[in-house]
Structure 1
Amino acid sequence: MHQVLSVLTNDRRYKSWRTTMLLPWAAALMVSGYVIREIGAFNTGNLTFLIASTVLIMTGPPIYSLINYLTLSRILYYIPYLSPMHPGRVVTTFVGLDVVCEILIGQGVWRMAATTMTDAQRKLGADLVKASLILQAALFGAFGLLAVLFQRRATKAGVLTENLRTVLNVLYVSAIIVTIRCIYRIVEYCEGWTGKIYTNEVYFWVFEASIMFINTLLLNIWNPGKRLPRSNRVFLDRDGITERRGPGWTDDRPWIVTMFDPFDVWGMCTGKDKKTQFWDMTDEQLAEVIAEQKANKRPFFFAAIDPFHLWGSRGLIGKHLSGSKSSKTNHSDTGDTLATESNNVPRDKKNHKEAKGLV
């Protein structure tokens, strides 16, 4: 509980809710899981406590993973010109797969613990949990490679500040901790309920409780929000010193395209990605882009009811509809003009004849 309060205090102090807002939630989940686990120790016949404590404790680490993904995304927003992929895609890609992990865990744990399930259904639950843990480990492997690639680029460019180095080191340690915990859980579920790891409490307290407490402590002491800008519109200039404010790195591609092409390979091949390179603009150009962005900003109400921006003059579907309407209007206007001209021709000829007769 102390960790939950400490994280809440740090988030309020550094105003870093956008980056570390899930830290209190992750800590609260695990604390609740340990409390229910302790209650269940005195009520061994009640499976509700077992299922609840297992689900809560198992869902905590994936949220810590999510926090690390959000932190790396904020780092990439800060130095966008060295980012291996769009920072927003870090969130959508990794977070989307992280949600899959949470679903697999939730579905697997209750199947394993429910007494009404058959042996085959329990085995299916164990397989779901193992699949979730393996996916978590694979995600953290990809996450680590992405972070290392960025750090090498930043070091070579001479823009890796001390604050960024500290945050990256914290992310590496946190990733290693969560990966160790995943490996422990994979081995545990492969052995089954009668295995050595599950039947010996010491493994749980070392490879689950202790290291996740260290992970929470690590993110609390070296809070990323203290060392990163509050807004993802603030970026570091290529000189490695000057901080500038830009429009933010937006991605106007359809959301379904960003899912299948998170690195915008097509944009790099066609050169369309250069349109978003605001970091090489002058201050005057940035001011114009920001002003245009404010003028075209969607109201909160419309963004809430249409989060994928499908409708409207700039929406994925709406812009095509408005385009077809405008083409029809132009075609109709052209037709009216031609009709008017054709109607005017006989009048001109008639007037010409009348004038000729007078002469």
Structure 2
Amino acid sequence: MGSCSAQTNPNSQWPALCPNSGAAYLFAILFGLTLTAHIVQSIIYRKGYSWVIAMGALWQTACYVFRILSIKYVANETYYSVWFILMLLAPLWINAYVYMVLGRMVYNFTSSAKILGFKAWRFGLYFVLLDIFAFLVQAVGASMASGNDIPQSQIFRGLHIYMGGVGLQQFFICCFVGLAICFQRQMKRDAPVTDQRRALRMLYILYAVLTLITVRIIFRLVEYSKGYSSGIPVHEAYQYILDSTLMLIALVLFNIVHPGQIMPGKDSDFPSRKQRKVIGKKNVRGRMAGDLPIYEPSNAQVAEPAAEAEMSPTYPKIDETTITYGYAREFEERSNA
């Protein structure tokens, strides 16, 4: 039986363990496969926002590529630091994707396009911004705790900052789940049964992914609650089972039930800022309202009395460059009725 260079090399960056290169190769391949699937699905379904989940899969794949390099070159501090940081931060992309998907579900499966006063396009944005904040906190902590030849005080400080960011992430998840439950109740009132069934398939996937992320967060909090002295960091099985496998399952779940399947077509995307401005932000409603905005370029002149045009601020004057909105006309007719 050969010796393990990670343990025998005096300049090794690894803690007191002999890393398994076979497992690293396996997970690099598995994450690479789900990355490829997400790229293909985003192209097939034409969902530009799916680059976020693809980025999560890319970071997970890159994590294990650098882990393989670190196992081969045990004294290289850069390889070790990169895979360590990527492993800690990659799940935040998956978390952000959950927020973005639910925001689009609010638009597609409710009549008001809002939950507890939050508009669908703002709903996802706010939580993504909170996720970015948690990301930055965790990134600072992870970078401080990674590397060799650094004082123990800095390692502990970095781990505590990272754990604080993880705690923030979990707090935001709990708030998000509460809003998701409100959406589920409103969707059952607004959407037909067939649409409810489609929406629930996606919603249950979101709940499952958030559960997987929560289990991983608990694991990380326990792992670093005592720094590196807990014994968990020197046993690879914990990391593979309670971190990487959970995130792999989350990525595969989004492959099995992709948002593009549940919310197909261009009409399922949010109205653009220009559309919302012309229609009127307060007038934009969800797709279940049955009076969706019609967005179609037109070079045709629409005959309309000048006085009526001036009295209709929600319906723009028509010229060769104007985009017409049938929804705005319908709204004006209802207002004058």
Pick from 55, 63, 70 the counterpart of residue 100 of structure 2: 70
TM-score between both structures, scaled by the size of structure 2: 0.70
Deviation at 1:152, TM superposition (A): 1.1
Q: String of CA shifts for 1:267-302, please: whole Å, max 9, x gaps.
A: xxxxx98x43546696799999576798499xxxxx
User: Are 2:230 and 1:195 aligned?
Assistant: yes
Partner Cα separation in structure 2 for residue 53 and residue 292 of structure 1: 57
Gaps of 5+ in 2: 1-31, 297-311, 325-337
Alpha-carbon displacement from aligned partner over 1:134-154 (angstroms, at most 9, x marks no partner) = 111111111111111110121
Partner of residue 276, structure 1: 283
**CA–CA distance in 2 between the matches of 1:25 and 1:205?**
20
Deviation (angstroms), 1:92: 2.5
Q: Is 1:6 the counterpart of 2:37 in the alignment?
A: yes
Q: CA deviation at 1:246?
A: 10
Identity %: 20
CA, structure 1 residues 104+8, in 2 after alignment: closer, same or farther (shift >3 Å)? same
List aligned pairs for 1:277-316, cutoff 5 A.
277-278=284-285, 295=322
173, 177, 182: which one aligns with 1:144: 177
C-alpha deviation, 1:161, in angstroms: 2.3
- Supply the distance in 2 between the matched residues of 1:234 and 1:114 (Cα, whole angstroms): 43
CA distance in 1, matches of 2:219, 2:184: 29
Q: Which of these two proteins has the greater Rg computed from alpha carbons?
A: 1
CA distance in 1, matches of 2:85, 2:169: 16
Q: Deviations over 1:204-258 (max 9, x none)?
A: 11011111111111101111111114446669xxxxxxxxx99998489xxxxxx
Separation (CA, whole Å) in 2 of partners of 1:167 and 1:233: 14
Alignment-mate amino acid for residue 99 of structure 2: Y
Q: Distance in 2 between matches of 1:38 and 1:123?
A: 26
- 1:212 matched residue in structure 2: 247
Which stretch shows the higher mean deviation, 103-112 or 174-183? 103-112
Q: Is the Cα–Cα contact under 8 Å of residues 111 and 121 in structure 1 kept in the other structure?
A: yes
Partner amino acid, structure 2, of 1:7: H
C-alpha RMSD of matched pairs (Å): 3.2
Instruction: Say if 1:152 and 1:217 are closer, same or farther in 2 by CA, change over 3 A.
Output: same
Structure 1 gaps of 5+ residues are 236-244, 253-271, 298-359
- The answer to whether the aligner puts 1:128 opposite 2:128 as a matched pair is no
Which residue does the alignment assign to 2:64?
Answer: 34
How far did residue 50 of structure 1 move?
Answer: 1.7
Distance 1:278 1:17, change over 3 A: closer
Matched, 1:222 2:254: no
In the alignment, is the contact (CA less than 8 A) between 2:91 and 2:213 conserved in 1?
A: yes
Distance (whole Å) between structure 1 residues aligned to residue 183 and residue 69 of structure 2? 46
* Greater fraction helix: 1
Q: Which residue does the alignment assign to 1:91?
A: 124
Q: Is the contact made by 1:61 and 1:178 (CA closer than 8 Å) also made in structure 2?
A: yes
**Can you list the C-alpha shifts for 1:30-62, whole angstroms capped at 9, x where unaligned?**
011012112212333322222100111122100
| Letter of the 1:70 counterpart | M
SS at 1:81's partner residue?
Answer: coil
Instruction: Give the letter for the 1:86 counterpart.
Output: K
- Does the CA-based 8 Å contact 1:102-1:132 persist in structure 2? yes
CA offsets per residue over residues 63-102 of structure 1, 9 Å max, x none? Answer: 0011111101111121251631111222321111111122
- Cα deviation for residue 118 of structure 1 reads 3.1
CA distance in 1, matches of 2:250, 2:259: 13
Amino acid in structure 2 at the alignment position of 1:39: L
Contact 1:51–1:109 (Cα < 8 Å) also in 2:
no
Q: Is the 8 A contact 2:144 2:155 kept in 1?
A: yes
The alpha-carbon distance between structure 1 residues 278 and 222, as it changes in their structure 2 partners (threshold 3 A), is closer
Alpha-carbon distance between aligned partners in 2 of 1:292 and 1:134, rounded to the nearest angstrom:
52
**Alpha carbons 2:63, 2:86 under 8 Å: kept:** yes
Q: Is the 8 A contact 1:55 1:105 kept in 2?
A: no
What SS does the corresponding residue of 2:229 show, helix, strand or coil? coil
What is the total number of aligned residue pairs between the two structures? 267
> Structure 1: how far apart are the matches of 2:250 and 2:70?
25
User: CA 1:175 to 1:283, structure 2 compared with 1: closer, same or farther past 3 Å?
Assistant: closer
Aligned residue for 1:59? 89
Find the aligned partners of 1:121 and 1:6 in 2 and give their Cα distance: 40
The answer to whether the Cα contact below 8 Å between 1:247 and 1:286 also exists between their aligned partners in 2 is no
Cα distance in 2, alignment partners of residues 107 and 62 from structure 1: 14
| Structure 2 CA distance for aligned equivalents of residues 31 and 281 of structure 1 | 43
